[in-house]
């Protein structure tokens, strides 16, 4: 019974991470009918940047805010230079190749400069877990589902009650008609990519006190969150094939089978997404449980 309850608590944490990152994919796709396959690496960049800033003496909250701004700037640059020039025709896939390539370069660059070993982000909410029915969870982890719910309601209000949000909805509904009404679709796409990157970085920052930040942490999250998007909504021929080939090495390191993403029959594609997401969630749960055991051991030694 305790194990079941522990899995439920872990599910709150993991669900919050995937919800935040998947919201970013949704925002990008709705406005531009393209996605940023470096989004998992943006999640990583937020965590790594926050850790580096805190290590240089910057306060935690300020470091988190600056890391989100850096991620937003990165998302805007990706849209302007890696997505927009290659997304001018229906069913174009050039943006897919460029973003995957840059994601691999970001991960390699972070490994060279930051190091391959993970470093946790110091947080007073990740010092000792609270016990609920024999299961344990850090207060830091509870921030993830809270943040996911807050972002969902915030985006709903943003889309319905602000001029900018309504403009984004208009572009998502009909890009050509929105342009004729004086809305700049390219500007809306750039803002959407920046907002999505900031939200993805928020997820990385919130989990990094529990799961240490390292350059490869975005490999599973990015592909797992993308698999949450309904295939009927994200329907670009060849997405699965290119994603599987480009991320094969990193995904296999985490126990994820890239071949499950290949676009075959619809029923096979759905089953593949389910199995791939299950593998990604299982790996993240192992990381969470391993971190809890290590911190518990350190506490007993002290």
Domain membership of residue 148 as a residue range: 2-214
CA nearest neighbour of 201 among 63, 51, 67, 53: 67
Distance CA 103, CA 99 (A): 6
How far apart CA 234 and CA 100 sit, in angstroms, is 17
User: pLDDT at position 270, please?
Assistant: 45
The pLDDT-based confidence of 246 (bands split at 50, 70, 90) is very low
The predicted structure's pLDDT at residue 209: 94
298 part of a folded domain:
no
Indicate if the pLDDT at residue 14 is higher than 50. yes
| DSSP state for residue 82 in the 8-state scheme | I
- Tell me how far apart the alpha carbons of residues 93 and 241 are, in angstroms, rounded to a whole number: 11
Rounded (10°) angle between helices 94-114 and 239-246: 20
Identify which of 183, 208, 233 has the alpha carbon closest to the alpha carbon of residue 25.
233
Residue 51 half-sphere exposure toward CB, CA atoms < 13 A? 26
Maximum mean pLDDT: which of 63-67, 210-214, 222-226, 231-235: 63-67
Kindly give the pairing relationship between strand 130-132 and strand 135-137.
Answer: antiparallel
Q: Quick check: is 221 in a domain?
A: no
The reported pLDDT for the residue numbered 229 is 53
SS3 171: helix
The verdict on residue 83 lying in a domain is yes
Q: How many domains is the chain built from?
A: 1
Q: pLDDT tens digit string along 68-93?
A: 999 999 999 999 999 999 988 777 78
CA-based nearest residue to 201, from 14, 25, 42, 49: 42
Give domain status of residue 256, yes or no.
no
Q: What kind and span of H or E run contains 135?
A: strand 135-137
> Which parts of 139-184 fold into alpha helices (H)?
139-161, 163-173, 175-180
Report which of 190, 24, 36 is spatially closest to residue 101, judged by C-alpha positions. 36
Compute φ and ψ for 28, nearest 5 degrees: -65, -45
Q: Are 257 and 79 in contact (CB under 8 A)?
A: no
Q: Tell me whether residue 281 is in a domain.
A: no
| Region 273-278 average pLDDT | 55
pLDDT at 131: 85
- What whole-number distance in Å separates Cα of residue 89 and Cα of residue 108? 31
- The sign one gets for the Cα dihedral 56, 57, 62, 64 is positive
Instruction: Give the C-alpha separation, 236 to 53, whole Å.
Output: 38
Better-predicted residue by pLDDT, 103 or 226: 103
Task: From residue 99, give the alpha-carbon distance in Å to each of 3, 85, 202, 236.
Answer: 39, 12, 20, 15
Is residue 246 situated within a structural domain?
no
Is 251 a member of any domain?
no
Tens of pLDDT, residue by residue over 152-175, are 999 999 999 999 999 999 999 999
Residue 113 makes CB contacts below 8 A (sequence gap 6+) with none
Q: Is 235 domain-assigned?
A: no
């Amino acid at each position: 019974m305790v194990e079941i309850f522990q899995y439920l608590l872990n599910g709150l944490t993991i669900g919050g991470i995937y919800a935040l990152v998947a919201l970013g994919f949704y925002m990008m796709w709705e406005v531009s009918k393209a996605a940023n396959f470096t989004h998992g690496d943006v999640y990583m960049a937020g965590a790594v940047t926050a850790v580096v800033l805190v290590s240089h003496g910057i306060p935690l909250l300020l470091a988190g805010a600056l890391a989100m701004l850096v991620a937003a700037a990165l998302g805007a640059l990706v849209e302007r230079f890696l997505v927009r020039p290659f997304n001018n025709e229906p069913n174009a896939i050039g943006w897919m190749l460029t973003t995957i390539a840059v994601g691999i370069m970001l991960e390699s660059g972070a490994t060279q400069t930051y190091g391959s070993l993970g470093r946790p982000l110091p947080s007073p909410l990740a010092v000792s877990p609270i016990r609920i029915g024999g299961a344990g969870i850090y207060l830091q982890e509870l921030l993830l589902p809270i943040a996911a719910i807050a972002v969902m309601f915030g985006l709903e209000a943003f889309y319905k009650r602000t001029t900018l949000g309504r403009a984004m909805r208009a572009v998502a509904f009909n890009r050509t008609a929105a342009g004729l009404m004086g809305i700049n679709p390219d500007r809306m796409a750039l803002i959407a990519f920046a907002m999505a990157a900031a939200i993805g970085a928020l997820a990385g920052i919130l989990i990094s006190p529990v799961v240490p930040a390292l350059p490869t942490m975005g490999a599973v999250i990015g592909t797992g969150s993308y698999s949450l998007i309904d295939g009927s909504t994200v329907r670009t021929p060849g997405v699965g094939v290119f994603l599987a080939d480009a991320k094969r090495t990193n995904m296999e390191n985490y126990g994820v089978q890239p071949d499950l993403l290949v676009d075959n029959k619809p029923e096979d594609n759905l089953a593949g997404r389910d199995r791939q997401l299950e593998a990604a969630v299982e790996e993240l749960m192992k990381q969470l449980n391993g971190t809890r055991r290590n911190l518990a051991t350190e506490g007993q030694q002290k």
